[in-house]
Structure 1
Amino acid sequence: MNNQPTEISKPITTAAAKQAATASFIGTAIEWYDFFLYGAAAALIFGPQFFPSSNPAISQLGAFASFAVGFLTRPLGGVIGGHFGDRIGRKRVLLLSLLLMGGSTVMVGLLPNYAQIGVAAPILLFVLRQGLAVGAEWGGAALISVENAPKGRKTFFGAATQLGVPAGAIIAYSMMLLLSAVTGDAFDDWGWRIAFVASIVLVLYGLRLRRKLAESPLFAQESAHGTTARAPIIEVLRRYPLGVLVAIFASAASPAVGYIVLTFILSYGTKEIGYSRNSLLLVVIAASTVQFIAMLVISTMADRWGRGRLMVIGSAFQAVTALVFFPIFDNGAVTLAILACSIALIAQTTQYAPLPALISDLFPTRLRYSGSSIGYQFGAILGGSLSPIIATAIFSSTGSSLMIGVYLAILTVVSGIAIAIAHLPALQAREHEADDRPVVAPVE
């Protein structure tokens, strides 16, 4: 590793930093649109369509299992994306991940159901529900923003990647709500498919934006000096195992809370509480809008007041809101559901928004894509992938939604401890004494 300070011959401008953050946000929003479409369909459509059973709970578990399998392949996507992202650059991997995700989504919209092709339908659904693209996407999108960020604004610019989540949810659920209203009773049969097939328009737009994006200046430095790693995955596991482990646990709780609020309640709320499908889609859209605003505010606060302090305090807030979420949501009133979901997502954002900056600080530039991707994606398995299944199983066995909140609170405490450890000076990986981001020149 090159331990000497390096310089960039031509500093990037604030305009270039904003362009990188914007491209990261829009591309990630498109990918999360695809992802949340699948989550909504898994909660509302896929059970009877692809996993018919005389027991509705078994049918729903099958649908959520198909949702979870995407998370199980995300670490593989992170490994592949991390290897090439650290070898050939962030930009190329981002282009390929967006193309792969978009293609899979369109094919899900065209897939025949169980009544038409039998057991081949759920098998093909599992195949198409791959998480390779999302696994490869997150690390590159986060780093292209963080590594272009002006000094002192790393958390805010890094949060551009996380902003794609509420934006993708708003677009996806708005599309589902519109199609539900327009197609009526036909929505369950074929109306939902329009949203999947239509994603090709967004993907083409995202590819156009990312093709114009410049490579990360920090990666360009490493490449120019010939210091890129030959086997980044092996090296990061050998040299930074504690950093990877901390990143995994720090990333676990916020996806779990997010998927309970944005996915699980769609099936739970309609089947157990009596909300209508359209009212819950409106609830999620409203709460995601609140989260979008909260992410901008919280990431700014983190840069001004200290990321570590805000995240640890936010972890305590998230644990409390996890315990009170279902008692409020279970009331059955739409206004209270919006309140419960909004507060839960604000609390979740205190952990979630600063994650790109937190995780990137655990690894040096030459290994950062690999380390960040492995840590975040395995954390997503530990938290996000299993949360709808665990929540369904907890409620089926206990009949108590409060126990779901207890599960989320315990997971939040674990992540909070990992976040505190991640901010210890000994865990901060730096190539040199100076801040490892390029100096940002003012726009002339």
Structure 2
Amino acid sequence: MSSSPPERRSLYKAFAASLSGTSLEWYDFAVYSSAAALVFGDLFFPGSEPLTGTLQAFATYAVGYVARPLGGIFFGRLGDVIGRKRVLVATLLLIGVATFCIGLLPTHAQAGAFAPAMLVVLRFAQGVGVGGEWGGAVLLSSEFSQEGQRGFWASAAQVGPPLGTLLANGVLAVLAGLTSEQAFLSWGWRIAFLLSAVLVAFGLLIRSKLEETPVFLELEAKGDQPTAPVSEVLRTETRPLIAAILARVGPDVLYALFAVFVLTYATKELGMSRGQAVTCVLVGSALQVGMIPWSGWLSDRYGRRRIYAIGAVGGAIWSVIFFATASSLATLLPGVVIGLVFHSLMYGPQAAFVSEQFTARLRYTGSSLAYTFAGVIGGALAPLAFTYFLAKTGTGYVIAAYIVVACAVTLVGLGLGRAVRDEPSSAVTSPV
């Protein structure tokens, strides 16, 4: 069924708002992730051996994931009660302010224990914002879409992370290239965080002009908004929630390896420069910008679970091959790129798959809970576990085994989940 011109314009605006907003928010989140791998160990956790400093830096990285369920609960509930648009403006503002303030923080040498403590607090605020962002961004574009197209249009929110990662690592790479190592550690890294103010202002301008989604407007007209959506999801949609959580574990862990931990692995284990390591992530992220919507389109054509499962199986196998072959830039670059291709095959259909597990009146809450709780299980623990296993065993094969298990968990989630491909996005009845 084709859309009328006004509906199509609304869909394009929603797609742009979802894409730009999540890209800007993930810039904020990704610039922290990269800085945690490259400089935060030295600046905020000095006086310890390199392994301990890296672990402590990744621990603050994990705080952002641990905080996400609070954002998912708080903002997810609001999204089902007062609407998608208002919540998305609030989450963007929260993350932007927190990121800007990180750029102003004193280091441990300047403020002692106060510096890492404030870093954790601001990272926590970032996590709360991201926890409330994803569910709304997915619904923003998918609830304007037509039958049989939700996988593609919902992928707008999924393109945000690689675009944000691309922008964040690109800014850090330029700063590292234009400054000496001493200058970069002293003030260069701060510029990447302070730029957040400009980017978030742009995102707020776009989102302030948005219309509310037709699905929420229909619910509002009927007075069918839930009064206690969190408890209702936990009570009435337990299996969909479990399925969505498990399905998300594999992609999070795979991303943690090929977009976050690989920076530490390349510099500390393979002896590569920071610039070389960041380049590998940049190339892989650039490819994902096209791969993710393509994967979403494939899921519309061939089914979410099939495309998702291909990515999970491929990612598990490739992680073993990666640690067997990665030894230099010539082997690391294709290793990261292919790893992120398999991640894209899971990540592209993910938005539609997760949101389709829940009824429309509980969709923001259910999607947010699934996204945030899976992040704690998958993305938060993975860099810490990778760092610890590599230090204790001296081999990447233990990390590869960890990823194989995570991808197996994802396959279980796909098996438990609903196989929906052509349900109208505006459906407000209970799923069959």
TM-score w.r.t. length of structure 2: 0.95
1:437 matched residue in structure 2: 426
Shift of 1:352: 1.2
Q: How does 1:204-283 map to 2 (within 5 A)?
A: 204-283=201-280
Alpha-carbon RMSD across the aligned residues, in angstroms, is 1.6
Percent sequence identity is: 39
1:111 matched to 2:105? The reply is yes
> Shift of the alpha carbon at 1:394?
0.7
Q: Distance in 2 between matches of 1:335 and 1:302?
A: 32
Which range moves more in the overlay, 240-249 or 109-118?
240-249
Instruction: Assess if the C-alpha contact under 8 Å between 1:74 and 1:134 holds in 2.
Output: yes
Residue 30 of structure 2 aligns with an amino acid whose one-letter code is F
- 2:27 counterpart of 1:33: yes
Q: Could you say which residue in structure 1 is the equivalent of 2:158? A: 162
Q: Is the 8 A contact 1:27 1:206 kept in 2?
A: yes
Alpha-carbon distance in 1 for matches of 2:162, 2:333 = 15
Hey, what does 2:138 align to over in structure 1? 142
What code does the residue aligned with 1:254 have? P
Aligned length: 421
The SS at the match of 2:155 is helix
Match of 2:200 among 188, 197, 203: 203
Other structure's SS at 2:76 match = helix
Can you give the 5+ residue segments of structure 2 that lack an aligned partner in the other structure?
428-432
- Residue 50 of structure 2 is matched in structure 1 by 56
The corresponding residue for 1:152 is 148
Q: Which moved more, 1:275-284 or 1:295-304?
A: 295-304
**Structure 1 equivalent of residue 373 of structure 2:** 378
Alpha-carbon offset, residue 255 of structure 1? 1.2
The correspondence of residues 325-340 of structure 1 with structure 2, limited to 5 A, is 325-329=322-326, 331-332=327-328, 334-340=329-335
Greater CA drift, 207-216 or 260-269: 260-269
Find out whether 1:317 has 2:314 as its counterpart: yes
Q: Deviations for 1:94-129, whole angstroms, at most 9, x for unmatched residues?
A: 000000000000000000010111011111100000
Give yes or no for contact 1:315–1:413 (8 Å, CA) kept in 2.
yes
Point out the structure with the larger helix share. Answer: 2
Equivalent in 12, 17, 23 of residue 23 of structure 1: 17
CA distance in 1, matches of 2:156, 2:298: 15
Kindly state the Cα deviation for residue 199 of structure 1 after the two structures are TM-superposed: 1.1
Q: What corresponds to 1:5 in structure 2?
A: none
What does the per-residue CA deviation read over 1:51-77, in whole Å, with 9 as the maximum and x for residues that have no partner?
A: 113311011100000000010010000
2:178 is aligned to 182
- 1:191 equivalent to 2:185? Answer no
Cα deviation 1:369-428 (Å, max 9, x = unaligned):
111000111011111111100000111111111110110011101111211221357xx9
**What is the CA–CA distance in structure 1 between the aligned matches of 2:254 and 2:80, rounded to whole Å?**
31
Q: Is the 8 A contact 2:146 2:424 kept in 1?
A: no
Instruction: List structure 1 runs of 4+ shifted beyond 4 angstroms.
Output: none
Q: Normalization by structure 1: what TM-score?
A: 0.92
1:301 alignment counterpart: 298
Maintained 8 Å contact 2:240/2:418:
no
> Could you tell me how far apart the structure 2 residues matched to 1:434 and 1:242 are?
19
Instruction: Judge which range, 95-104 or 411-420, deviates more.
Output: 411-420
| Equivalent of 1:364 in 359, 365, 378 | 359
Q: Is the 8 A contact 2:307 2:349 kept in 1?
A: no
The correspondence for 1:411, drawn from 375, 393, 406, is: 406
Q: Which residue of 2 aligns with 1:78?
A: 72
The 1:350–1:227 alpha-carbon spacing in structure 2 relative to 1, beyond 3 Å, is same
Q: How many Å apart are 1:22 and its aligned residue?
A: 1.3
How far 1:149 sits from its partner (Å)?
Answer: 1.2
1:286 to partner: Cα distance: 0.6
Contact 2:147-2:423 at 8 Å conserved across structures? no
The equivalent of 1:173 in structure 2 is 169
Q: By how many angstroms is 1:219 displaced?
A: 0.7
Shift of 1:437: 2.4
Please state whether the residue corresponding to 1:190 is helix, strand or coil: helix
Are the aligned partners of 2:69 and 2:369 in contact in 1 as well (CA < 8 Å)? Answer: yes
Q: Could you tell me how far apart the structure 2 residues matched to 1:47 and 1:133 are?
A: 24
